A and B are shown apart, each in its own frame.
Chain A
Amino acid sequence: MQPAKILPKSAFPGWIDFLKRSYTVVGPKAMHGQTVFGEIETADDLTLEYNQSVIPPKKYLVPQREVLIEYKLDGTEVEAKFNEEATVVFGVHTCDLHAIKLLDLIFSKGFTDQHYAAHRDNTIIIGYECLTTCGPESFCRSMGTASAPESAYDLHIIDMGSDYFIQIGTERGEALFTGYDGVFTATEPDYARMNGTLSDKWQRFPYRLDVDVTEIPDLLAESYHSDHWQELADICLACGMCTQVCPTCYCFDIRDEVDVTLSVGKRVRSWDSCQIDSFALVAGGHNFRETRAARQRHRFMRKGKYQFDATGMVGCVGCGRCATACLVDITPIKTFNELYRRQQQQPEEVEA
């Protein structure tokens, strides 16, 4: 691990200008009282003290709509398309870094997803340490995601008042300072200040789950037949907003879009949602998850158990976005706590 850097805040705008010369730079921006990730021109466009962005920065790794291949219908040409735009994603919260780590695992399992890999290769991630919790729906402390994970970032920034402490995650991260002279190598006292900043932050991060994160996969397994799924289904609008905003949701649909002359076509991947009626619709008109209850269960099983089984990481990073988006107040905090309460009430009825 390379020694960390110290960037005085006064030098920060100059560094952004420096990065802009070689990269598209995106980061959190204020928009109508919300925060959205978008392209920035100068450091002034950034809002680093932000609560969760509406859509997570995953949109730069798994775009909402992406052309995978282009082809001629007569079969004479097929060309795979890959992202080639060098982008720096600035100011990624710690929970979102954990989510990117999970996406890395998912998209490299079995056959590596080359389109994802191309985005990942061209996208430099600069994390930003959260020093206070995002809001009442965030439960990163409970999920163990309030500190930056060891991989997933290229650089990671910790605000220390007058300057930034910048941890180096990768060589290409460190290279972002090559040729820029406003930055210093961190010294012992800087490390001490950084450790102080990090240990102070915990008082601002309440635990919000009654259940320990390590028990969540078992809790979900035991809740498979719970009545709670139907209770959620009664109020769920099947609107899919909870999944669209989730940093660990990656389900997609693939469709062929053929031009009107039926000569050329594109194969397009776009975000799907397990909450909408047609998600599990297959050939012949069969739908293997027709009810909202089955779909709510599926969603929480994926977050709490299935992704853990597949990757060793729990599929929810506690960002709280889904709860903020949901118009009927279906939230993971309430759901996990309610399942736990029921499990504790009937400890012997755990046979699944």
Chain B
Amino acid sequence: MKPKIAFFDFTSCEGCQLTVVDSLQTNVGLLDMVEIVQFREAMTEKGTDYQIAFVEGSCTRESDEDRLRAIREQADVVVALGACAHLGGINAIRNIYSIDEVRDEVYGDKGEWYETYQPRPIDAVIAVDAVIPGCPIDRDEFIAVVTQVLQGREPRIPDHPVCIECKLNETVCMYLRGEICLGPISRAGCGAICPKYGFGCVGCRGMISNPNLESMEEVLEQYGRTLEEARAKMSMFLTYQTLEEGES
């Protein structure tokens, strides 16, 4: 029997789901291997007897938690799909403000009508078995992770800095171009695509598990950049993690 898989979206731009649809076009064989029972982005049916759940988006309100728990209850394997689900990501930028300020700013005097709280990654609510990082996800990595899950293996996501891939591309380091780059503390796997096209890495795949932050600070100083500038870069995807750090 083919495993049944389902896709769920929470607060997100749906770019990762679009990438999934995109990757299916070049990997149609996947459709022979699994049965997709729920995928709002691509179909109307809503089957609930899935074994593998892909969750896109961050959790941004209490009612999301119930939905996430129901998914966890049903699925044998839960995979976080993309930076919003993995990190809180862009949605969590607003966490530097209080929830009342955010309500005021967005909904004005109707603030009370809407349910919302501080955005968080899904693993702040439920246990997650695997992560496909990135904003958006990489289509090849998506296929590779699905394949490994189908094989019953634990998916392998790199846990070393982006710099290694950047050097393989023989890209001129952003620091030598007078720019900031979070590559030395960010998770590789994207092929260092941002520096390749002239942008410093903003860490959309999250930080590596063992970053040398003190040394990163020295690199900034040595190249005439400030910690504030680096923090600004980190706020794009890593606000949730940075605030957690600050509290603990």
- Determine if B159 and A278 form an interchain contact, defined as CB atoms under 8 angstroms apart: yes
- Determine if A273 and B212 form an interchain contact, defined as CB atoms under 8 angstroms apart: no
- Determine if B167 and A245 form an interchain contact, defined as CB atoms under 8 angstroms apart: yes
In the complex, whether B134 has a CB less than 8 A from a CB of chain A is no
- Determine if B160 and A55 form an interchain contact, defined as CB atoms under 8 angstroms apart: no
**A36 closest partner in B (C-beta):** B170
User: How many residues on B have C-beta within 8 angstroms of the other chain's C-beta atoms?
Assistant: 37
**A37 closest partner in B (C-beta):** B170
In the complex, whether A234 has a CB less than 8 A from a CB of chain B is yes
In the complex, whether B246 has a CB less than 8 A from a CB of chain A is no
Question: Chain A's nearest CB lies how many Å from the CB of B177?
Answer: 9
* Bound form: Cα–Cα A257–B145 in Å: 11
* Bound form: Cα–Cα A210–B40 in Å: 68
Task: Name the segment of B91-99, B146-154, B227-235 touching the other chain.
Answer: B146-154
* Bound form: Cα–Cα A226–B27 in Å: 53
The residue from B27, B172, B184, B219 contacting A260, defined by CB atoms under 8 A apart: B27
- Determine if B184 and A237 form an interchain contact, defined as CB atoms under 8 angstroms apart: yes
- Determine if B147 and A64 form an interchain contact, defined as CB atoms under 8 angstroms apart: no
- Determine if A240 and B170 form an interchain contact, defined as CB atoms under 8 angstroms apart: no
- Determine if A241 and B167 form an interchain contact, defined as CB atoms under 8 angstroms apart: yes
User: C-beta contact mask, A45-72 vs B, less than 8 Å → 1, else 0?
Assistant: 0000000001100000000100000000
- Determine if B215 and A257 form an interchain contact, defined as CB atoms under 8 angstroms apart: no
Task: Name the segment of B6-14, B28-36, B48-56 touching the other chain.
Answer: B28-36
In the complex, whether A327 has a CB less than 8 A from a CB of chain B is yes
The residue from B29, B32, B161, B170 contacting A55, defined by CB atoms under 8 A apart: B170
- Determine if A327 and B147 form an interchain contact, defined as CB atoms under 8 angstroms apart: no
Question: Chain B's nearest CB lies how many Å from the CB of A235?
Answer: 5
- Determine if B167 and A328 form an interchain contact, defined as CB atoms under 8 angstroms apart: no
* Bound form: Cα–Cα A239–B162 in Å: 8
* Bound form: Cα–Cα A313–B163 in Å: 29
Query: Which of A238, A239, A276 counts the most chain B CB atoms within 10 A?
Result: A239
Known: A278-B159, A327-B175. A244 touches B168 (CB 8 A): yes
**B156 closest partner in A (C-beta):** A255
The residue from B159, B160, B212 contacting A292, defined by CB atoms under 8 A apart: B212
Chain A 1-53 interface residues, beta-carbon cutoff 8 Å to B = 31-34, 36
User: C-beta contact mask, A241-264 vs B, less than 8 Å → 1, else 0?
Assistant: 100110000000000011111100
**B148 closest partner in A (C-beta):** A258
In the complex, whether A338 has a CB less than 8 A from a CB of chain B is no
In the complex, whether B164 has a CB less than 8 A from a CB of chain A is yes
* Bound form: Cα–Cα A148–B160 in Å: 36
In the complex, whether A137 has a CB less than 8 A from a CB of chain B is no
* Bound form: Cα–Cα A195–B20 in Å: 64
- Determine if A260 and B212 form an interchain contact, defined as CB atoms under 8 angstroms apart: no
Contact surface of A with B, Cβ cutoff 8 Å: 31-34, 36, 54-55, 64, 234-241, 244-245, 257-262, 271, 273, 276-278, 292, 325, 327-328
**What are 12 A-B contacts with C-beta separation under 8 Å?**
A234-B215, A236-B215, A237-B215, A237-B219, A238-B160, A238-B210, A239-B184, A260-B29, A260-B147, A261-B33, A327-B219, A328-B215
Closest 4 CB pairs of A and B: A276-B160, A239-B163, A261-B29, A240-B164
